[in-house]
Amino acid sequence: MKFVRYGEPGQEKPGVLDADGEIRDLSGLIPDLTGSVLVNLGALFGLDLTVLPKVEGQPRLGPPVGGTGKYLGIGLNYADHAAEAGLAVPPEPVLFMKATSAICGPDDPIIIPRGAEKIDWEVELAVIIGKPAKYVSEQEALSHVAGYAVSNDVTERGFQFDRAGQWTKGKSSDNFGQLGPWLVTPDEIADPQALRLWLTVNGKTMQDGTTATMVYGVAYLIHYLSQIMTLLPGDVISTGTPPGVAMGRTPPPYLKPGDVLELGVEGLGLQRQRVVADGW
């Protein structure tokens, strides 16, 4: 199934796509697509979607999960991306936190914060946790997944590398976490390690890769992270990006106002964002 959240920021309602790709409203059955609902998401399987109210028009789509407690980012998880960054493949997954306030809808704009000059893109496969995971084995890890989504891990490279401190400050500005359009349940994704990822800027292909080349796969990442902290329903893991980011090009074509990005992951839908300056 493909679940969505639609409506204005902070007022999203839960929905689901029917066989024709139309949004059907779920707000009469569940309050929202948050962790407490994801635990029992299976109760919605087999639902007759034709009896649900159809959502008219083209509403804004929000992130397909609400109330996320943790947004966990994995760095340098594609060997060829590590090479373009001039960094070694890590002996263990590189973990950083992205502020949950950065999470926004799939087509919401990328906002350039004040003082930023090195805005970069990163198309990624996101994993949304559906039941608590603590000390889970790699073999049982995927049973804790509620669904998968497209993620754009927008990054300000100057904030990330040119200032003292951790990567988090380069990852956490407002609208640096486009997520969606859909939460796609695992029954529709035969193998999360066999998905194509791609991204274009102003119509030019910048990234075109596959999750098959991840250094650490989805099951291992869930296993690994669950040894460090309990993963809770609604938590998001963004699993790393293939090569082709601006930082790895000469000269780096960092984003500027007016640029348009389109990106997607096979089976998980598309995103489209326009880059704008912060109006504050």
Please tell me the pTM assigned to this model.
Answer: 0.96
Domains and CATH numbers, the chain: 65-277 (3.90.850.10)
pLDDT of residue 85: 77
Give the span between the Cα atoms of 234 and 67, in whole angstroms: 7
Confidence of residue 61 (pLDDT cuts 50, 70, 90): very high
List helix spans (H) across the chain. Answer: 35-38, 79-84, 157-161, 168-171, 218-226
Mean pLDDT, the chain, integer: 96
Give the span between the Cα atoms of 102 and 153, in whole angstroms: 10
- Kindly state the DSSP code that residue 79 receives in the 8-state scheme: H
pLDDT of residue 152: 98
Length, in residues, of the chain:
280
226 phi/psi in degrees, rounded to 5: -70, -15
Tokens (6 digits) for 45:
């399987």
Q: Are 9 and 104 in contact (CB under 8 A)?
A: yes
Q: At residue 224, does pLDDT exceed 80? A: yes
Q: Are 221 and 238 in contact (CB under 8 A)?
A: no
What mean pLDDT comes out for the span 87-112?
95
Q: At residue 202, does pLDDT exceed 90? A: yes
